[in-house]
Structure 1
Amino acid sequence: MTRELTQLELLRELEPVAEENVHRHLSMAKDWHPHDYVPWDDGRNFAALGGVDWDPTQSQLSDVAKAAMVTNLLTEDNLPSYHRVIAENFSRDGAWGTWVGRWTAEENKHSVVMRDYLVVTRGVDPVALENARMTHMTAGFNPDLQEGLLDAVTYVTFQELATRVSHRNTGRACGDPIADRMLARVAADENLHMMFYRNITGAALDLAPAQAMRAVVKILANFQMPGATMPQFRRNAVLIAKGGIYDLRQHLDDVVLPVLRTWKVFERNDFNGEAETLREELDELLNGLRADAERFEEARDRALARAAERGKVTVR
């Protein structure tokens, strides 16, 4: 039986891959500045400075867009927790340390630009937003990463891609070309971040197939977005799913399956023993996700049909 690699051995063996991907990221990343994506001319003082405080009529966003923007922003806000998790499971030295710092700095831009946009355009209640931020960040984020490095890179691979999908669809849902442009820029960052983590996990599948597959199956079986503990997350998640921002079908078709295809999980012939057993478990897990997605779509279609019928009755 192949010996399990320790966390230190995994870090050492995978560091050349991390270094290569840091260089790739820096060559592909585009500099941008949050202030260039905010319509400052729309801004005005609130009551504390002699202006007018927020009221719901000032927002130009739909309920779906507001729920998605708040959820995405509060997710980005919890960056200190994510930095801690990544730093604890990676290293502050060498390529790992360079990535931790660069990734943290880039992610911070996302919360800056989204908050500035929402406050300036009065898209959501800034007091409620700040209260939710305080609650969410005080609770923090503490995922179950018993496998350390491999759990961390696997989780963030799927999470970064899920976030990219959510940001991109939220931009379209806002009905504002400025918001769409802003969130397209944020989504592009998230995609590059996903590629870094995806490539590390892919290399881990070559290096330690059973250990890496253990992480893949565990993360997908228990996957939750990092915003799951924020105030009103369940309500907002339902609105987001019904509104086509992010639902089970998108999670499966736009996030999970593309990553697994890139890793060639079901095409590999170097799996045996535990890795092969875990691949069979993964196949069963995917079948369950497909069934869940179909049930959600059927329920959503029925709800939309009922709503349309009620609309016809109201018109008459």
Structure 2
Amino acid sequence: MTVLEDFAPSAPLVRALDPVVAVEIERHMAMAKEWMPHEYIPWAEGSNYDGIYGGDAWDPSQSPVDGVSRTALVVNLLTEDNLPSYHRALTDTVGRDSAWGEWVHRWTAEEGRHAIAMRDFLLVTRSVDPVALERERMDHMGRGFDGYAEGHVLTTMAYVSFQELATRISHRNTGKHTQDPGLDRLLQRIAADENLHMLMYRNVMAAAFDLNPDASMKAVLDIVENFQMPGNEVEGFTRRSVAIALAGIYDLRIHHDEVLSPVLRAWNVFDRTDFGPEGEKARDALAQFMAGLDAAATQFEDKRAEKAARLAARI
């Protein structure tokens, strides 16, 4: 339950923001580049797996990437897989009419392309265990998506503004960590799409700030304080997130410096002069939270460095 329960329903804001969404769709379509998933897959590297075609069973020694890379790749792909639930959450919040509906369907189609390309690449190159991946996909999608932010356009737009940027960075850093040129190229392509999605949502939320500054500020505080990636329902997500953070793919410092901070700057939340008492209170709470997150990020970095030093001393 969010702090916006006592606010007016989001339907009037959805209607008021519709012209903004229409403009953002035009911008997005002008900037988006068509790309074909099959062109990013090294098909010639493929071979049959065990089963009805009598190939070889997967073995970790066949994977061209290390264990941490496999962890990040699987989490990223499983997150993309849950697209039907995300589509439902968005349409339940903003509807399927007018510009909103056009955008949600376009966004869904583009996100679907990401999962197609990632799965094809990982299976062709034997980067991950196909049996474990499919079982996890079934489990993850069976759990659905309990979107904390869904239900109100303000919390939804605030959440996806941060989430799309976080996803972009996670894909980008995962690609680099794999040290596989082909996989890095694919994930950079996907990250470029995610950045355009972030711009769409961030700009719509900026317009919402102008329409209702206090409610928007409260929504942003609510999401920042409770932010979780959409893959948090994946089995073992916490354990996997620690491994990903220790590898520097996505950690508290990245979350603070490269996700939350730039989006908050884009909305000018700390320099706005149009907040009422409720907005000011929420902004003060946000500043305190960000300071605490910054301190926690520094603490994590120090502990990671200490662990690395201990490991190095054993060699």
- Normalised by the size of structure 1, how large is the TM-score? 0.96
1:98 paired residue among 96, 102, 111: 102
Structure 2 gaps of 5+ residues are: 1-5
Give the deviation of 1:105 after TM superposition: 0.3
8 Å contact kept, 1:22–1:99: yes
1:177 to 156, 176, 181: 181
The equivalent of 2:3 in structure 1 is none
CA positional deviation for 1:147: 5.7
Deviation digits for residues 33-63 of structure 1 (CA, Å, limit 9, x no counterpart): 1101110000011122021110111001111
Q: Answer yes or no: is the 8 Å Cα contact 2:93–2:151 preserved in 1.
A: no
Match of 1:29 in 2: 32
- Tell me how far 1:143 sits from its aligned partner: 1.5
Question: In the TM superposition, what is the alpha-carbon distance from 1:5 to its structure 2 partner?
Answer: 4.6
Deviations 1:99-146 (A, max 9, x none): 010000000011101000110000010000001111100001111236
Aligned counterparts of 1:234 and 1:145: Cα–Cα separation in 2? 20
Of the three residues 239, 250, 253, the one matched with 1:235 is 239
Contact in 2 for aligned 1:147/1:215 (Cα 8 Å): no
Give runs of ≥4 in structure 1 deviating > 4 Å: none
- Equivalent pairs counted in the alignment come to 309
Whole-angstrom distance in 2 between the partners of 1:197 and 1:124: 33
Residue 144 of structure 1 is matched in structure 2 by 148
Aligned residues of 2:225 and 2:289 also touching (Cα < 8 A): yes
Does structure 1 residue 121 correspond to structure 2 residue 118? no
Alignment of 1:6-21 (within 5 A): 6-21=9-24
Shift of 1:176: 1.1
Return the match for 1:264 from 263, 268, 283. 268
Change (3 A) 1:147 1:87: closer
The 5 A counterparts of 1:1-316 are 5-48=8-51, 49-145=53-149, 148-311=152-315
The answer to whether the Cα contact below 8 Å between 2:160 and 2:201 also exists between their aligned partners in 1 is: yes
In the alignment, the residues of structure 2 paired with residue 139 and residue 82 of structure 1 have an alpha-carbon distance, to the nearest angstrom, of 13
1:65-89 deviation line (CA, Å, top 9, x unaligned): 1111001000000001100000100
Q: State the AA in 2 paired with 1:223.
A: F
1:184-218 deviation digits (Å, cap 9, x = unpaired): 00000000000011011111111011111111000
Change (3 A) 1:113 1:147: closer
Does the 8 A contact of 2:90 with 2:150 survive in 1? no
Structure 1 position 232, deviation (Å):
2.0
Task: Note the C-alpha offset of 1:297.
Answer: 0.6
CA-to-aligned-CA distance 1:223-254 (integer Å, 9 cap, x gap): 11011110221221111101111000000000
**One-letter amino acid of the counterpart of residue 83, structure 2:** L
Confirm or deny: 8 A CA contact 1:45 1:52 kept in the other structure. Answer: yes
Any conservation in 2 of the 1:158–1:255 contact (CA below 8 Å)? Answer: yes
Distance, in Å, in 1 between the alignment partners of 2:50 and 2:227 is 42
In structure 1, runs of 5+ residues without a counterpart are 312-316
Q: 1:245 to 1:188 in 2, by over 3 A?
A: same
Per-residue deviation, 1:309:
0.8
